[in-house]
Amino acid sequence: MPKVILHRTIEEILIIAVSIITLATMIPFSVYRFMQGQTYVALFEISGMVAVTFIGYYVWKTRETKIAAIALSSIVLSGLVAINYILGSSMLYWLYPAIVTVYFLNSLKTAFLLSLAVLLGIFPLLLMEKNTIEITSVLTTLLITQIFSHIITFRTAQQHDRLKALADRDGLTGALNRRSLDDRLDILQNLFFRHKRSGGNASSVILFDIDDFKQINDKFGHIEGDQILVRLTDRIQKYIRKTDELYRYGSEEFALIANGANLLKAAELAEKIRELIESAQLSTKTTVTASFGVAEVQNLEKSNRWIERADKALFRAKRAGKNRVFLANAEERTHIYRQLKAN
């Protein structure tokens, strides 16, 4: 039985790390509260630690991060505001690193709203305990922390998106590249492994390449071949669902991930794309066709094995005469129309 490796995302690692750091920070203070006889304050902090521990464990088990990030941020910020009301405004300085952390964990909009809620929540306490100069100083520095956290996070996100686009896209066609495909297949394998009992997260990969592409390049030139690849990518991108993903797998070979599609649904999609390519007039000099291999995700299977099954189906389609669709693990040539009618 192959070993299934679950790769943690940056978001998961951040939430789990923040949960651990929060616990490590709070435990000494809670012990100190008990020693000083501040039992109610210590119990309040312990309840916060229980909540933080639960969130960290929840992310570890489910790998769901969006709601967990909001919950963790809300607990930390509201807890700090409450502690300031209980113990006095001497704990205000903890709000600064908390606001920065919230921006790391959440979207810009969510982080902005949570940070703004902190400013509004702490304002009545400042009115009770501080003079005008002190109130202005605290609010100004908190606001500056929020503004700079917002700007830095926004710029970082922009740069990340630019670098990701350069790293993940094929320079000629604009389709996602081979490295992106490998990463995505690993993720889908992990999702299927985690949710296999519920029967969800079934996906299929459609592998296809242009028939006799070498002859097209040799006869009409590489510029014509490149234009065919660009036109093909454009037509398919406009045809498929937004949830599906197109990758350039090799020179004239492409892979399409049909998210949420079982083998039969993916086969139907592959047949429609085959017809689209055949009738699209991708070149004024020759007819362009493509052959397809389709494979559905399987449990306890490494991603390279998944793509290998699709590749073998594609090879059988080529050997059987090209311009057709074959399914992985099928012993005989698959006739898509007949199979669809039978089902």
Tens-digit pLDDT profile for residues 165-196: 677 788 899 899 888 888 888 888 877 876 65
The predicted structure's pLDDT at residue 236:
95
Cβ-based neighbour number of residue 156 at 10 Å: 12
- What size, in residues, is the chain? 343
| 133 inside domain | yes
Give me the percent of the chain exceeding a pLDDT of 70.
91
| 173 inside domain | no
Both 330 and 195 in one domain: the answer is: yes
How does the average pLDDT of the chain come out, rounded?
87
Cβ-based neighbour number of residue 172 at 10 Å: 12
- pLDDT, average across residues 306-335: 83
The predicted structure's pLDDT at residue 342:
52
The predicted structure's pLDDT at residue 1:
38
The predicted structure's pLDDT at residue 179:
86
For residues 148 and 132, give the distance between their C-alpha atoms in angstroms, rounded to a whole number.
24
Residues 329/306, Cβ–Cβ less than 8 Å: no
| 4 inside domain | no
SS3 label, residue 299? coil
Catalytic pick from 12, 45, 252, 253? 252
Burial of 101 (0-12, 13-18, 19+ CB in 10 A): buried
Q: How far is CA 35 from CA 30, 41, 42, 49, 59, in A?
A: 9, 11, 10, 18, 33
Q: Which of 109, 142, 168 is the last residue of a domain?
A: 168
Tens-digit pLDDT profile for residues 82-133: 999 998 887 899 999 999 999 999 999 999 999 999 999 999 999 998 999 9
Number of domains in the chain: 2
Rg (CA), the chain: 28
| 5 inside domain | no
Q: Which of 168, 196, 221 is the last residue of a domain?
A: 168
The model's confidence at residue 257, banded by pLDDT at 50, 70 and 90, is: very high
Both 110 and 138 in one domain: the answer is: yes
User: Nearest to residue 43, comparing CAs of 83, 94, 91, 89?
Assistant: 83
Residues 263/252, Cβ–Cβ less than 8 Å: no
198 Cα distance to chain centroid: 21
Tens-digit pLDDT profile for residues 30-76: 999 899 999 998 999 999 999 999 999 999 988 889 999 999 999 99
Write out the residue range of the structural domain in which residue 125 sits: 10-168
Both 286 and 184 in one domain: the answer is: yes
Higher pLDDT, 148 or 164: 148
Which range among 14-18, 66-70, 187-191, 264-268 shows the weakest confidence by mean pLDDT? 187-191
Q: Which of 150, 168, 186 is the last residue of a domain?
A: 168
Q: Is 252 a catalytic residue?
A: yes
